[in-house]
Amino acid sequence: MSDEPQPHSGPEIENLFAETRTFPPDPAFAAAANAQAGIYDEAAADYVGFWEKQAKERISWFTPFGETLKWELPFAEWFVGGELNIAYNCVDRHVERGLGDKVAYHWIGEPGDTRTLTYRDLMVESSKAANALLELGVRKGDRVAIYMPMIPELPIAMLACARIGAPHTVVFGGFSAEALSSRINDCGAKVLITADGGWRRGKKVGLKHHADEAVTQAPTIEHMIVVDRFGDGAHMVPHRDLWWHEIVDRQSEVCPPVPVDSEHMLYLLYTSGTTAKPKGILHTSAGYLLGAAFTHWAVFDIKPDDVYWCAADIGWVTGHSYIVYGPLANATTGVMYEGAPDAPTWDRWWEIVEEYKVSILYCAPTAIRAFMKQGEAIPEAHDLSSLRVLGSVGEPINPEAWRWYKDVIGGGKTPVVDTWWQTETGQILISPLPGVTTTKPGSATFGLPGIDADVVDADGTSVPNGGGGYLVLKRPWPGMLRGIYGDPERYKQTYWSRFPGMYFAGDGAKRDEDGYIWLLGRVDDVMNVAGHRISTTEVESALVDHKSVAEAAVVGKNDPISGQAIFAFVTLKSGQEPSDALAVQLREHVAYVIGPIARPKFLLFAPDLPKTRSGKIMRRLLRDIAEGRALGDASTLADANVVDAIRSNTGKAEED
Ligand code: WT7
């Protein structure tokens, strides 16, 4: 089990590159750790009682809850009848107990400008922003869309919404106007909060023109609040658009937090699935906050004087749970950085760690691999000795990257916590506890206390140690999604129908001889590109949307940096000729329709796509072709010549 001491045979160097090397927690770290070994048994004995106790300790309630869990599979209600306010829990209560001067965020702009926000600042600013929303007619339950760069007004806007009980939907700034308008339309948002733009790799990346374009297709938006990041002015539509500094700055600094029910919607966050239509993942208030706060405390071992940096974008769930809600509920001091890791040089992150004495760093394997490629000399030129816990999230971390992270960034002494979770789960579910779990590089190890994670075969039977299958969750947890906005049927279908009574995550997994869980990637048509889930169908739809394209098939190709890269096979309409220029155009078209993150890295024109006799595209063969490996079973292929024709062409795959 995770908390048993592991045999340790001689110097670590001997089996440095063996997959079997294990890392027990450092005894001094273990002795002082927030979460101790006994917590697993405590939670296993009575998981509902465990969360009840956590909710009483960690959340400040306006009205205490009655029943802890009402579970009518697959619909959960946690902390029934309780009333609270999320902004009060994240900000005001800390100010009330004397932490007003504690830094909530050290913010660093990409050009080098900085801002420091204390908990008092956050309280004042989010209250003023909340009053601005009230002035614009936003009330409890009304949805607000947020489309912003990584600037302090982003968490302030989220807290402003939470303060008045208006659910937000944050749309990642890298998404297109079309992606933004479809999300606004799905939830019927009334107000859009945006900015003129943000800095990325030394360039101004504009957002306002996308927001304008989106709103022409999104009639529910009555007003747009625009943060002035650049100071260059922007085209403002009279009566509709308002500068943040004009409407927010003149508001009262006081805005009483509105009590909401435990199950009041806190936010929607859209995520890709196996169809082209993104799902509005619905998170509610009390359970979500508890899940984020508890795991942030236990997994990162957060102490009052830590300086914690989650280097994700708030536009993804990682930022929601582990830049905003979890850390703020725990009164943590955080770092927030606007820009790219290589701007102006690959030293940037390590300069920040050194300057702010960051003690906990949480990032994605794709970033770690990108740093690895630049060499050890860059991080080694900086004093990173303040680091004491390193976290990873978003995709399986390969053992080499895990070891590099621990050795080069963590100086060999920090625990590495590989955290598995999803937009839907709201909170980390599978992860080591840094003071308890003996880790293995590349394994997310075990379900956290209170979480029943299992690996099952195609029939839903738990596999023995050494077996592989599908990852499932067998009990509800507080941070779980409560549904897909407006589509309870899709919620049941997607997550609860594959294995009756269990939540199906869509990931393959194995359990090794010691019971450790290893995540093996998606088993559905979803790619994981640089830690972001992108649906193959969504990219295909964007390609087919182009006037020259007859048919498209998209697969994920293994990529040394981003995990997977998007590989598109495109068949043109008759009369259209393949060309480099058209390949560029098609890529840009995908970026236009979905956003730059979905731009295919490889694009290959194919005279035809391999299909079964019943007309189904054989993606398995396309994956083999994309990977340049021997073809698997092709006996069901309708026309074998098609594959030969594509294969003879692969050298011509356009690489971005
Ligand atoms: C998918 C969820 C959770 C925040 C980031 C992504 C993959 C996530 C890990 C990990 C292996 C991981 C899974 C999952 N994933 N963390 N530690 N090891 N795979 O959120 O966009 O909802 O994607 O990311 O495939 O299903 P998301």
321-337 pLDDT, tens digit each: 999 999 999 999 999 99
pLDDT digits (tens, 9 = 90+) for 330-379: 999 999 999 999 999 999 999 999 999 999 999 999 999 999 999 999 99
Determine the average pLDDT of the residues in 542-561.
Answer: 94
Pocket probe for ligand 1: among 175, 310, 533, the residue whose CB has the most ligand atoms within 8 Å is 533
Does position 93 have pLDDT exceeding 90, yes or no? yes
The C-alpha atoms of residue 331 and residue 120 are separated, in whole angstroms, by 12
505 lines ligand 1 (CB under 6 A): yes
321 lines ligand 1 (CB under 6 A): no
The CA 606 to ligand 1 mean position distance, Å, reads 32
334 lines ligand 1 (CB under 6 A): no
Residues 111 and 314: beta-carbon distance below 8 Å: no
The C-alpha atoms of residue 457 and residue 630 are separated, in whole angstroms, by 27
The CA 525 to ligand 1 mean position distance, Å, reads 14
Determine the average pLDDT of the residues in 41-59.
Answer: 98
The CA 473 to ligand 1 mean position distance, Å, reads 15
**Token pair listed for 288:** 């979500």
Sign of the Cα torsion 62, 63, 66, 72 reads negative
Percent of the chain with pLDDT over 70: 96
**Token pair listed for 489:** 């049927």
Using the atom order of ligand 1, give the atom closest to the CA of residue 423. 22
271 lines ligand 1 (CB under 6 A): yes
What residue ranges in 239-388 does DSSP mark as E strands? 241-243, 260-261, 265-271, 279-284, 307-310, 333-337, 360-363
Pocket probe for ligand 1: among 321, 421, 498, 522, the residue whose CB has the most ligand atoms within 8 Å is 421
pLDDT digits (tens, 9 = 90+) for 400-437: 999 999 999 999 999 999 999 999 999 999 999 999 99
The C-alpha atoms of residue 81 and residue 261 are separated, in whole angstroms, by 6
Largest CA distance in the chain: 74
User: Strands 203-206 and 197-200, how do they pair?
Assistant: antiparallel
pLDDT attached to residue 122 = 98
The C-alpha atoms of residue 622 and residue 556 are separated, in whole angstroms, by 10
The rounded mean pLDDT for the chain is: 94
The residue whose CA is least distant from atom 7 of ligand 1 is: 395
30 lines ligand 1 (CB under 6 A): no
396 lines ligand 1 (CB under 6 A): yes
pLDDT digits (tens, 9 = 90+) for 381-395: 999 999 999 999 999
Q: Which residues pair with 454 in a beta bridge?
A: 472
User: Strands 241-243 and 223-227, how do they pair?
Assistant: parallel
pTM over 0.85: yes
241 lines ligand 1 (CB under 6 A): no
482 lines ligand 1 (CB under 6 A): no
User: Would you place residue 651 in the very low, low, confident or very high pLDDT band (cuts 50, 70, 90)?
Assistant: low
pLDDT attached to residue 654 = 61
The CA 651 to ligand 1 mean position distance, Å, reads 32
Determine the average pLDDT of the residues in 557-567.
Answer: 94
What residue ranges in 474-601 does DSSP mark as E strands? 483-484, 503-511, 517-522, 526-529, 532-535, 549-559, 563-572
pLDDT attached to residue 273 = 86
The CA 131 to ligand 1 mean position distance, Å, reads 36
Residues 247 and 225: beta-carbon distance below 8 Å: yes
Q: Which residues pair with 568 in a beta bridge?
A: 554, 603
Residues 215 and 179: beta-carbon distance below 8 Å: no
535 lines ligand 1 (CB under 6 A): no
The CA 196 to ligand 1 mean position distance, Å, reads 31
User: Would you place residue 160 in the very low, low, confident or very high pLDDT band (cuts 50, 70, 90)?
Assistant: very high
pLDDT digits (tens, 9 = 90+) for 97-150: 999 999 999 999 999 999 999 999 999 999 999 999 999 999 999 999 999 999
Does position 11 have pLDDT exceeding 60, yes or no? no
The CA 292 to ligand 1 mean position distance, Å, reads 16
285 lines ligand 1 (CB under 6 A): no
The domains found in the chain, sorted by start residue, are 120-258 (3.40.50.980), 526-655 (3.30.300.30)
User: Would you place residue 635 in the very low, low, confident or very high pLDDT band (cuts 50, 70, 90)?
Assistant: confident
